[in-house]
Amino acid sequence: MKFKYIWFFIAVLCSAASFGQITIKGTVKDKANVPIPGVNVIVKGTSNSTATDFDGKFSISVPNKNTQIEFSFIGFTTKVVAAGDKTTLDVTLEESSQVLDEIVVVGYASVKKSDVTSSISSVKGKELQTMTVGNVTESLQGKVAGVQVTGQGGPGAQPRVLIRGISTINLSTDPLYVVDGIPMGTSINFLSNNEIESMEVLKDASASAIYGSRASNGVILITTKKGKSGKTRFTFDLSSGMQMMENPYDMANAEGYANIMNTAYNNSGYSDYLPDASQYRGKTTDWWGAGIRKSAPVTNASLGASGGSDKHTYAVSLNYYDSESFYEIGGWERITMRINNDFKFSDKFSAGVTLNPRYESWGGPGNWADFVKIDPITPIYKPADQLTGLENEYSIYARSPSYVWNPVAAVKRYDDYTDQYNLNTNGYLQYKPVKGLVIRTQASIEVGNKVQSIFRPDFVIDAAHEKAEINSVERKATTNHDWTWQSTATYSRTFAEKHNASLMIGSTMEEYNGNDTWAYGEGVPNNSESMREVNAATKNRDSGGNSWSSSVMSYISRFSYNYDSKYYFTGTFRRDGSSKFMANNKWANFPSASASWRISNEGFMENTKEVINDLRLRAGWGKVGNQGLPTSVYQSNIGQGYYVIGGEMVDTSYPSSMANKDIKWETVEDINFGVDFALWKNKLSGSLEYYQKKTNDMLFKKQFPTYSGFPGYSTIWTNVGSMQSSGIDLLLSYKDKKGDFSYGVDLTFTTVNVEMLSLSSEGERLYGAGNRTLTVKGDEPGYFYGYVADGLFQNQTELNAHTDEHGTKLQPYAKEGDIRFKDINGDGKLDDKDRTKIGSPWADYNVGLNFNFGYKQFDLVANFYSSIGNDIVNQNISDLYNGASLTNKVDGLDQMAWHGEGTSNYVPRLSKDDNNENFTKFSSFYVEDGSFVRMKNIQLGYTFQNKFGLDKLRISLSGQNLWTWTNYSGVDPEVAGGDPDKDDRVKGSGFGGWNYPVQPTILMGLNVAF
């Protein structure tokens, strides 16, 4: 009975709470009298909110007539209306001045886009979410002028991102990523694109100098989604589909392979390699079908909740991303969670905290090329009559005479997986003691643990060539614990109504710590999964470990001023101290200055307002630094090796690297000039910029000269030379709306010219990629360096004509159908002095073209990206065309290759010996035009507003990387190349081979909000 009174009491309270409530209904339209669906309608000071339906209608309850109702929608100016005595309220929203009133994140602050004086490009999270990618930077491709994104393919691969070309040839070229104000290094694989509110790209030094020593390659600022006051809003986003993998080449079947190899042997004077090729008819081994799946699932799912009140807002998101590999095993899996809480204790005090736990797991075979290269006559498994019954499960496979290890067996043996756990905590406290003054302190702590487990089973496929007679197990564990702390004070004030000034000062501290341990052992009693532990190893146990630490301390300041929204000036100064340098060079200063003139706000432009809505001139200058070298270059290190003395192996030690106490910062000095404009009611807008950046005191690891007395493999880090990058960025954007139809198109265009201005000594030559690239003063770095292939010898007359002045043949072993190499210097000899520039990995232009259309509830987006003018070294040519190797060849090679005068002037004759070195000499024969145009994404969507009890339901169908136009004959023209482990990031760029291709993907999408 007592419960009955409780329920009665609750009912009375509810009735009392609802007494006096007023229900207001109405419609929200734009100035053209067109209803606007999805407008946020909020009763100010409460959590009560709703959204307009497809017809722009809304209904909401307010406590009294003095209540204020706020109407907001992207692209329109927020409007606040008093409820009054009306029960019907029709509201008209005005379009905002497009991007001019947008808030743009800059270093340690946010400003109106109209007040920005530097080169900053902003991309909203909504634009990034149209693509399903593991790394959100892939979605930037073609959307930002001056930014080149090259996909690396493969689950979990990190794309290469270049902002306005390169500024170093030895260190990392990746930009710095800053997430919610905290520097996060050079990778954001941990971040889901569904978590992002906006990304700002700081392209010039006047914008990025506030980040000083970390900003030489540019800065990308990422703001994650925060909660907004109002009722709790739930979202669910799902994108699921299949990535397709096709064999990039039409390879020969068994009979065709036999014919090709027989031709190569006959051309070299040998008997048939495979007599009676017809015996292999219908007996082709389908290696590709046996080991590579035609499609692999990819899934991206996010669940979010956000809301709050005037005192507390929150946003919680959970994301799951899974990209399986094209084998039966392996892939990349990621689970991330982000919890944002912001508190407003009073008009003066506010605080916030973000938690970001995440988990990643990856691993998978990397031998997909072997499924193409292995010969088609070898069976997958050994014939039954070759088995003894004593073989383990890894020893029952057949060996190929091509020396390509059996790829099906290699996948079966694969066991190399990595698990990584991270937790990042980011909190801030903000205090406004007086009007215009904001004091803010922010700290972040991240801890992480990465464990790699490797097991290599014992097997014997061939006792001489393909075996591991003893198994081994290995475990590597890496932990990190990093923290940052930054404090700023910002004072802003307007004087005499037209003078607007702001001053920010602050300091930052960052420390990065880590350690790793590893253990190794052999002779595990058996290959079962339960035994794959280091403790189970019975032989050759070994272990080791190391730790590292680096820190940066900085003082920062920025002053900005504008007069009457016409004349703008911003100056920044940062002083960095790094633990990577000795006392004399530990500190460096990074200043910058930028200014702009808004011509459109001048009185003499008043009569042009109907046409010219915004017109600005900008100029900027600044210096940034680079300290991305190892943590202990000021120390001399001892390497371990061995030497045979008297027939016995003796352990030795040698100086592997020498300290350089005078090493100092690599610095980049940047200038930038630009014009921004918006025309015809902001329908057409854009910018045109010229930039030039010069790198001085480049950090470089050099070998000691032999006369020094140190071993030739001893190295020292030093500062050498300078380089310069320059070019233009162009952005054009057109947007319009005609009734129910809206459309827009964005064009981005970028040029980059790179030149080495000086090296450590006159005439110095820096080689890379196995001496196949060269860097010299006065030319672009890392250009392809080799012989010039001048077609093929078509007849004996041409062979006889290729001689020196005395009639001696330049290529004495050449025959008809071999490559003719040019005698570049005309000295009558073909030697290393005839090597020359034969191509460049750097594109002349990068172009992005992005379309979006909307009609009623339908929407369509299409994104295209193009790289023009770059070359690629197609290293696969040797595998596919060379008769001297026993790997499989492209179908019909015996007819494609030269087999008589005029039959080919490109593919040389098939030869078992290759005495002319057609394939072993690095020449222009390998260099191809790498230009391409790619459809990155096309997506069609349909949205239901306020249907089925939901605020929004959107379904979509999209295709990614469905179409590519290129003359490049390799696997994929989207090639970065370069080996960071060999300091060849730049000097090894542009080498294509069996790189993991960017895959076509078909996806279905579902977006729900309620």
Amino acid found at 840: S
Asked if residue 121 and residue 199 are part of one domain, the reply reads: yes
Confidence of residue 19 (pLDDT cuts 50, 70, 90): very low
Element (H, E) at 858: strand 858-868
Q: For position 847, what pLDDT does the model report? A: 95
Closest C-alpha to 453, from 362, 392, 367, 383: 362
Q: What is the CATH number of the domain that holds 193?
A: 2.170.130.10
473-482, 585-594, 879-888: lowest mean pLDDT where? 585-594
Domain boundary, last residue among 40, 75, 95: 95
153 in any annotated domain: yes
Domain boundary, last residue among 174, 205, 227: 227
User: Could you tell me how many residues make up the chain?
Assistant: 1010
pLDDT in tens, 496-525: 888 999 999 999 999 999 999 999 999 999
- pLDDT above 90 as % of the chain: 55
Confidence of residue 699 (pLDDT cuts 50, 70, 90): confident
Bridge-partner residues for 104, per DSSP?
111
| Residue 193 backbone dihedrals phi, psi, to 5 degrees | -65, -20
- C-alpha R_g of the chain: 33
Q: For position 906, what pLDDT does the model report? A: 94
79 in any annotated domain: yes
Q: What is the CATH number of the domain that holds 53?
A: 2.60.40.1120
48 in any annotated domain: yes
Give the tokens for residue 416. Answer: 């190399």
In this prediction, residues 182-190 reach a mean pLDDT of: 81
Dist CA 136 CA 134 (whole Å): 6
Q: Is the pLDDT of residue 282 over 70?
A: yes
- pLDDT above 70 as % of the chain: 92
Asked if residue 142 and residue 55 are part of one domain, the reply reads: no
Q: Which residue has the tokens 């100035």?
A: 31
Average pLDDT value for the chain: 87
Confidence of residue 10 (pLDDT cuts 50, 70, 90): very low
| Residue 780 backbone dihedrals phi, psi, to 5 degrees | -70, 150
Domain enclosing residue 37, as ranges = 22-95
Asked if residue 151 and residue 73 are part of one domain, the reply reads: no
Q: For position 375, what pLDDT does the model report? A: 95
Closest C-alpha to 254, from 878, 880, 888, 881: 888
Confidence of residue 67 (pLDDT cuts 50, 70, 90): confident
Closest C-alpha to 999, from 373, 374, 325, 370: 325
Contact 461, 396 (CB under 8 A): no
Asked if residue 177 and residue 220 are part of one domain, the reply reads: yes
88 in any annotated domain: yes
Q: For position 8, what pLDDT does the model report? A: 43
Asked if residue 126 and residue 204 are part of one domain, the reply reads: yes
Asked if residue 107 and residue 71 are part of one domain, the reply reads: no
In this prediction, residues 867-884 reach a mean pLDDT of: 94
Q: For position 983, what pLDDT does the model report? A: 62
CA 24, 29, 35, 38: dihedral to nearest 10 degrees? -70
Q: For position 16, what pLDDT does the model report? A: 38
pLDDT in tens, 337-392: 999 999 999 989 999 999 999 999 999 998 999 999 999 999 999 999 888 888 89
Asked if residue 129 and residue 71 are part of one domain, the reply reads: no
Dist CA 872 CA 840 (whole Å): 8
pLDDT in tens, 629-672: 777 666 666 666 666 666 676 666 666 666 677 788 888 999 99
Asked if residue 120 and residue 208 are part of one domain, the reply reads: yes
213 in any annotated domain: yes
176-179 and 219-224 beta bridge pairing: parallel
Domain boundary, last residue among 177, 197, 227: 227
Asked if residue 121 and residue 80 are part of one domain, the reply reads: no
| Residue 64 backbone dihedrals phi, psi, to 5 degrees | -160, 175
731 in any annotated domain: no
Q: Is the pLDDT of residue 15 over 50?
A: no
Asked if residue 189 and residue 134 are part of one domain, the reply reads: yes
pLDDT in tens, 552-584: 999 999 999 999 889 999 999 999 998 888 778
89 in any annotated domain: yes
Contact partners, residue 993, CB within 8 Å, separation at least 6: 369, 874, 875, 876, 970, 971
Q: For position 982, what pLDDT does the model report? A: 60
How many domains does the chain contain in total? 2
Contact 870, 965 (CB under 8 A): no
Dist CA 679 CA 664 (whole Å): 48
Q: Is the pLDDT of residue 616 over 50?
A: yes
Asked if residue 193 and residue 152 are part of one domain, the reply reads: yes
Instruction: List the alpha helices (DSSP H) in 104-151.
Output: 125-128
Asked if residue 162 and residue 127 are part of one domain, the reply reads: yes
Q: Is the pLDDT of residue 103 over 80?
A: no
Confidence of residue 3 (pLDDT cuts 50, 70, 90): very low
176 in any annotated domain: yes
106-120, 210-224, 735-749: lowest mean pLDDT where? 106-120
Q: Is the pLDDT of residue 713 over 70?
A: no
Give the tokens for residue 803. Answer: 């001689």
Q: Which residue has the tokens 């703008």?
A: 568
Q: For position 12, what pLDDT does the model report? A: 39
HSE at residue 260, side-chain half, CA atoms within 13 A, is: 28
pLDDT in tens, 133-146: 878 888 888 888 88
Q: For position 952, what pLDDT does the model report? A: 86
In Å, the largest CA–CA distance within the chain is: 122
pLDDT in tens, 577-589: 988 887 788 888 9
Specify the 3-state DSSP secondary structure of 18: helix
pLDDT in tens, 381-423: 999 988 888 889 999 999 999 989 999 999 999 999 999 999 9
Q: What is the DSSP string of 523-582?
A: --S---GGG-SGGG--EEEEEEEEEEEEEEEEEEEEEEEEETTTEEEEEEEEEEEETTS-
pLDDT in tens, 910-931: 999 999 999 999 999 999 999 9
Q: For position 773, what pLDDT does the model report? A: 93
Confidence of residue 698 (pLDDT cuts 50, 70, 90): confident
